[in-house]
Amino acid sequence: MVQGTTSDAGKSTVVAALCRLLKQRGVRVAPFKPQNMALNSAVTPGGGEIGRAQALQAIAAGIEPHTDMNPVLLKPSSDIGAQVIIHGRVRADMNARDYHRYKPVAMKAVLESHARLLEQYDAVIVEGAGSPAEINLRARDIANMGFAEAVDCPVILVADIDRGGVFAHLVGTLSCLSQSERDRIIGFVINRFRGDIKLLEPGLEWLERETGKPVLAVLPYLHGLYLDAEDAVQANQASKGAFRVVVPSLPRMSNHTDFDALRAHPDVDLRFVREGEAIPGADLIIVPGSKNTRGDLAWLQAQGWPAQIARHLRYGGKVIGICGGFQMLGQTVADPHGIEGAPGSSEGLGLLGLETELTRDKRLTRVEGTCAFADGVELQRVAGYEIHMGVSHGVAMGRPAFSIEGRPEGAVSNDGHILGTYLHGLFDHPDACVALLRWAGLHSDHVVDTSQLREASLDRIAASAEGLLDKLNALRGGIGAG
């Protein structure tokens, strides 16, 4: 099991690297994360929902993602509540106290999934969540040491040296654990190191003396990786092109991985605009998905986005709304059942002639089809996935954005300047990305192949972790050896 001293210490990347290395060595391996809290999710071939990181790790392992790889997924809808997803399906919406009482039921689902994976694979690489040192979350823990103790799993502890304070993170985490939990940790991984390793060696020697545990690896800071982020929005991109794309960073923004292909495009300048920041000029504005559509719509209105979008359209700019953002572009968003908060209805941005009603049923599916949003792009392929609770209808749906397996999907405004869709990942297919950017005004010869970029990045992180796997094999007698 890979645990971390903090969130974003690099647990997901280390698990992905080990999965790729084991696959390369002929070991049947699967990733596993008992409990995940994230707004970035993926749809499995069976129509279940799991964390995005576990889908990436499945790619690293060369297998299809499955709901057993992330049996418990929490998708926050407010500061105190979340949608609870068990084995890929919505079980309920719970506040923190209710979920704490529910944890024994969730743990049963976790252990069932883990047991099934152990039956099918030679090795299972487990990812923890956050930090095991959160004292207030120790009771009924299913995400870190509570799980490791239940299945008698060895643990490696990862810390991010780029943040600073790496030795305090590691020693401090150990001090917060029980003796049996400290004994379970077989060594440390220091992640994202850059500089002269000779200058780090005195610290490594001190750490090993102080704790009695080995440093298994010092992993380098790798620039330019293309890997799906689990949750945190990556504000920076490698290149700053001339074509400006602006995205409001909604408080409950979901699946911001929709924009990874744009981030990687050399001719695109992608910017997320946060609360209180000035809204810059743009060629294309994209309203992203949301886990709380009405709440994020109110945030957009309070930040002055409606007036900015109207001005943007008057000057010939283009607008795309994805999933919850698509719903916001319409006339109204109604939530009569209180799916995402208090029951009620909100006035939308009024840019598309459609109304949306949030429903208890959640649509989860992978899809493929063709583009239909402009002349000359009908044969361009698109592929992605749908994750939404809501049904939209209205005159705007008579001008669909895509044709998905023979059915119309999404909407385009009469003047052709506004496009809305429930389709996540719409930029991931190279053909669709080229067509959408051309529609928005960028005529570029560059083609971004997200699958190729992802595979190359997985190979890079695997190569950097070869020494780690060799040390783990020496300690454990061979991962996957039975």
SS3 89: strand
| Kind of pairing between the strands at 418-421 and 411-412 | antiparallel
- Residue 206: its H or E element: helix 197-211
| Both structure tokens of 394 | 């209205």
Q: Which amino acid is at 44?
A: T
Ramachandran area for residue 88 (φ above 0: left; ψ -120 to 50: alpha; else beta): left
Q: From 326, 340, 316, select the one nearest 286 (Cα to Cα).
A: 326
278 within 8 A of 305, measured Cβ to Cβ: no
SS3 367: strand
Count other Cβ atoms within 10 Å, centred on residue 171.
15
| Pairing label, strands 407-409, 402-404 | antiparallel
Burial of 257 (0-12, 13-18, 19+ CB in 10 A): buried
Q: Which of 66, 114, 256, 424 is catalytic?
A: 424
Tokens matching residue 72: 């418990």
Q: Compute the chain's Rg from CA coordinates.
A: 23
Q: What share of the chain is helix, strand, coil (3-state, %, to 5)?
A: 35, 25, 40
Q: State both tokens at 328.
A: 């916001």
Tokens of 69: 């790889």
Catalytic residue check, 223: no
Tokens 């559509």 -> residue: 293
Reported as type and span, the H/E element at residue 384 is strand 381-388
Exposure class string for 287-323: b at 16+ Cβ within 10 A, else e: bbbbbbbbbbbebbbebebbebbeebbeeebbbbbbb
Q: Is 424 a catalytic residue?
A: yes
Distance CA 193, CA 215 (A): 13
Closest CA to 162 of 224, 218, 235: 218
Q: How far apart are the first and last CA of the chain?
A: 17
Cβ-based neighbour number of residue 403 at 10 Å? 16
Residue of 87, 256, 323, 388 with catalytic role:
323
Give me the active site residues, please: 323, 424
